[in-house]
Copies of this chain bind each other. A is one copy, B any other.
Amino acid sequence: MDEPVLLTGAGGRVGQAVLEGLADEYEWQLLLHSPPDDEPDHEYLVGDVTDEETVADAMDGVGAVIHLAGDPRPSAPWPSVLSNNIDGTEKMYEAAVEAGVEKFVFASSNHAVGAYETDERTPEMYREGDDYRLDGTEFPRPGNHYGVSKAAGEVLGRYYHDEHGISVCNVRIGNLTRGHPPIDYERGQAMWLSYPDCARIHRCTLEADYDFEIVYGISDNDRKYYSLERAREALGYDPQDNSAEWNADEHVADYERESV
């Protein structure tokens, strides 16, 4: 990727993980929702993804987009996700196509498929040895309005790819935590995404050639119920972390040090 990469929602946690891992590998153009406390190390704009002018400015000269911006709260109310997540993503795609951007990476979420975790399947599906897997071809099944908005974003990507040819990768991001996996939270351990693996999979989305993909963005956890097959095959993603390699008893010092 020779041209700059536009990163929206750059101030959020996923944005931090991406920038910490890939700051020097790409030329970044950040879109921030609010003015930053500290001057960023990269070019940036401040504005809202629902504002067409902001989005058009942000897209100028860009080769690829990693679109993370939106209301990130699983409990976000419908009017907010309708505007920030659904309408904002449509405006981003429209501007990307208009600007001739080649590649669009969309931060989807485990919440787009959260309702597959039925009472009958849990907690067994969160445990090593259980062979239930979601592979990214399934119909969305969100457990909240936030998840509805992420599924709608995936469908928007399908449309913009089919009708306008832009390469689209949807990453259904798991449970991103810095340093170590969630403690005493099986579901979070099953879908853990380490900061370094988060950077890795986003590097892959910028480097690989693809048409339209839906992949799961998690580390290679023994407990996983999301298949990594498509991410490995389509993107060459090679995760290096595994929530099972952390043990609260052995790493108690690390936990205490790293917890934020």
**Does any Cβ of B come within 8 Å of A78's Cβ?**
yes
Task: Say how many copies of this protein the assembly contains.
Answer: 2
- Alpha-carbon separation in the docked complex, A155 to B158 (Å): 15
As a 0/1 sequence over residues 128 to 168 of chain A, the CB contacts with chain B under 8 angstroms (1 = contact) are 00000000011111111101100110011011001100000
The tally of residues in A whose CB lies under 8 Å from a CB in B reads 27
* Cβ A155 vs Cβ B151 within 8 A: yes
Residues of B contacting A65 in the complex (Cβ-Cβ under 8 angstroms): none
By a beta-carbon cutoff of 8 Å, the part of chain A in contact with chain B is 78, 82, 86-87, 90, 94, 115, 137-145, 147-148, 151-152, 155-156, 158-159, 162-163, 214
Residues of B contacting A78 in the complex (Cβ-Cβ under 8 angstroms): 90, 94
Residues of B contacting A143 in the complex (Cβ-Cβ under 8 angstroms): 159, 162-163
Residues of B contacting A144 in the complex (Cβ-Cβ under 8 angstroms): 159, 163
26 pairs from A and B in contact (CB 8 Å cutoff): A78-B90, A82-B87, A86-B152, A90-B145, A115-B158, A115-B159, A115-B162, A115-B163, A137-B139, A138-B139, A139-B158, A141-B158, A141-B159, A142-B155, A142-B159, A142-B162, A143-B159, A143-B162, A143-B163, A145-B159, A148-B152, A148-B155, A151-B155, A152-B152, A152-B155, A155-B155
